[in-house]
């Protein structure tokens, strides 16, 4: 893999990958609609709006692998989710197919399975149970990935990212935390792994309270190093702000009727 395109590169995960992967590949091409710092050695900046197929195809030229992060990154209105997450993701896979890109790594979310009971351990083979419009858009993205793998031969990884934070901020995040270092490790493994057809992976750190099982992905070589337990004592000494509904489901607050994306109450 020589030229890696990152969509949504100006965002939180994109900025972390930009730093963490610096110098690892011949070229990191960074794309977003938001402004990006000027390119350094080994970087290219290319603005592209994911809702515009021609722009996305332009960003895809001579690319070996796409890390597709660009999206509305949480619950929102259908009016916003539709263009950025649904149309945008279709455009990324279609542009990759047209440009002969070998591999797409898709930032999915644990909200694809947010309506499973938290008491239950789940792996990636369970049927989707999205907990909101955002989760539905990520189910769509995984389905598009499967289609383009099966029909067009793209190599596709869908990462059901838990909660990417510098450190876990509350009880719900203890099982699902993904540290910045582990995010770089995970995406690096997905870029570098020898050929795979279609894989789904839970993107979490090595959390003692983890409720996800990444069945059968040993070949990926992902060995997370960080553990949210290091923060557990502090978090558990503060009041539990989760309500009775949120507490029951993997998706937490997202599972509540009427949740509109305002996380301020809990984080
Ligand atoms: N942060 C998390 O905890 C988490 C958890 C699960 C999944 N994810 C997924 O990971 C990805 C990255 O998350 P993040 O936390 O870095 O989000 P972020 O909001 O910080 O970054 C998303 C980026 O996408 C860009 N973007 C949005 N619409 C675009 C468009 N039409 N064209 C081009 N760029 C567009 C935004 O400008 C932004 O820079 C998202 O797909 C998100 O759904 C994140």
For the stretch 142-189, pLDDT in tens is 999 999 999 999 999 999 999 999 999 999 999 999 999 999 999 999
Q: Which of 145-159, 201-215, 249-263 has the lowest mean pLDDT?
A: 249-263
Q: Is the C-beta atom of 175 inside 6 A of ligand 1?
A: no
Residue 267: pLDDT band (50, 70, 90) is very low
**Other C-beta atoms lying within 10 Å of the C-beta of residue 48:** 24
Average pLDDT, the chain: 95
Q: Taking the model in full, what pTM does it have?
A: 0.97
Does the annotation mark 25 as catalytic? Answer: no
What pLDDT score was predicted for residue 263?
67
* Residue pair 106/90 in contact by the 8 Å Cβ criterion: no
| pLDDT for position 223 | 96
**What pLDDT shows up at residue 265?**
52
Per-residue pLDDT reduced to its tens digit, 17-46: 999 999 999 999 999 999 999 999 999 999
Query: What would the two tokens of residue 233 be?
Result: 């004592």
Domains for the chain: give ranges and CATH numbers.
Answer: 3-265 (3.40.50.720)
113 to 51, 61, 204, 223: CA distances (angstroms): 26, 34, 14, 23
CA–centroid distance, 237 to ligand 1, in Å, is 31
Ligand 1 probe mutation, 11, 30, 177, 254, most atoms within 8 A of CB: 11
pLDDT at 173: 95
Structure tokens at 73: 């990154």
């Amino acid at each position: 893999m020589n030229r890696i395109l990152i969509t949504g590169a100006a965002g939180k995960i994109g900025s972390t990958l930009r730093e963490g992967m610096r110098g690892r590949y011949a070229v990191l091409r960074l794309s977003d609609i938001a402004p990006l710092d000027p390119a350094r050695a080994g970087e290219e900046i290319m603005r592209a709006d994911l809702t515009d197929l021609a722009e996305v195809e332009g960003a895809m030229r001579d690319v070996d692998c796409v890390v597709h992060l660009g999206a509305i990154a949480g619950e929102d209105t259908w009016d916003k989710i539709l263009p950025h997450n649904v149309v945008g993701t279709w455009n990324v896979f279609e542009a990759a197919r047209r440009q002969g890109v070998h591999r797409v790594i898709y930032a999915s979310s644990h909200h694809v399975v947010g309506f499973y009971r938290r008491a239950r351990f789940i792996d990636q083979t369970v049927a989707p149970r999205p907990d909101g419009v955002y989760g539905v858009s990520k189910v769509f993205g995984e389905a598009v990935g499967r289609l383009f793998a099966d029909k067009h031969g793209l190599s596709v990884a869908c990462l059901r990212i838990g909660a990417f934070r510098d450190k876990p901020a509350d009880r719900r995040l203890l099982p699902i935390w993904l540290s910045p270092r582990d995010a770089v490790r995970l995406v690096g493994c997905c870029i570098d792994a020898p050929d795979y057809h279609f894989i789904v992976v839970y993107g979490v750190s090595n959390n003692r309270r983890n409720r996800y099982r990444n069945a059968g992905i040993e070949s990926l070589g992902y060995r997370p190093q960080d553990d949210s337990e290091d923060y557990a004592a502090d978090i558990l000494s503060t009041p539990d702000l989760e309500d009775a509904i949120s507490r029951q489901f993997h998706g937490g607050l997202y599972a509540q009727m009427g949740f509109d994306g305002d996380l301020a109450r809990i984080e």
